[in-house]
Amino acid sequence: MSQVQSGILPEHCRAAIWIEANVKGDVNALRAGSKVFAEKLAAFQDQFPDAHLGAVVAFGHNTWRELSGGVGAQELKDFPPYGKGLAPSTQFDVLIHILSLRHDVNFSVASGRAGRLWRCAGREGRSTRFPLGRRTRSERLRGRHRKPAGEETRREVAVIKDGVDAGRQLCFRAALGA
């Protein structure tokens, strides 16, 4: 059984940092950096259990093809630009999503190992969000359906069950308006 990424729809998040980048250089460095990031994230989780720290590292279509040797995620496609440039594609090669109950822990992870992974890919953008501000008391996020709560429920709805991609999750980033 695969490990569900700790940032997939957690019910506890109060603050988050999104880091986006395009790969500039060796994809193997990105592969190695991702493994180190996962190890260091686990160390932060052990050091700060009260933070309920989680993270996701996701890759765009072309980067995933390079990392996987073209195997898997056949449904993954780049987002095309629309409206004759009025709605440009905002696809990045790498998305790092760090979240927890503690802002200081998020920033420590982002400036430490995630920062190194981000620099390995090539800097593009970093943003901080406070997701609870967009939720109602019913835990709905701007009219979207309820989030699945608990790891087993998340596994049921978010993890690919069989085939070459079994155990993987697809991540879609949607920019929320003000």
For residue 119, pLDDT beyond 90: no
Q: Given this model, what pLDDT does residue 160 score?
A: 72
- Indicate the pTM of the whole model: 0.68
Q: Is residue 18 within 8 Å of 97, Cβ to Cβ?
A: yes
Burial of 72 (0-12, 13-18, 19+ CB in 10 A): middle
Domain boundaries along the sequence of the chain: 15-158
Q: Please give the average per-residue pLDDT across 149-154, as a whole number.
A: 68
Mean pLDDT, rounded, of the chain: 71
If you ran DSSP here, which 8-state letter would residue 90 be given?
A: -
The pLDDT tens digits for 63-117 are: 888 888 888 877 777 777 777 766 666 677 888 888 888 888 988 888 775 556 6
Query: Cα separation of 55 and 100, whole Å?
Result: 9
**Helix or strand run (H / E) with residue 111:** helix 103-111
Tell me the C-alpha to C-alpha distance, in Å, between residue 90 and each of 21, 24, 33, 123, 130: 11, 17, 23, 15, 21
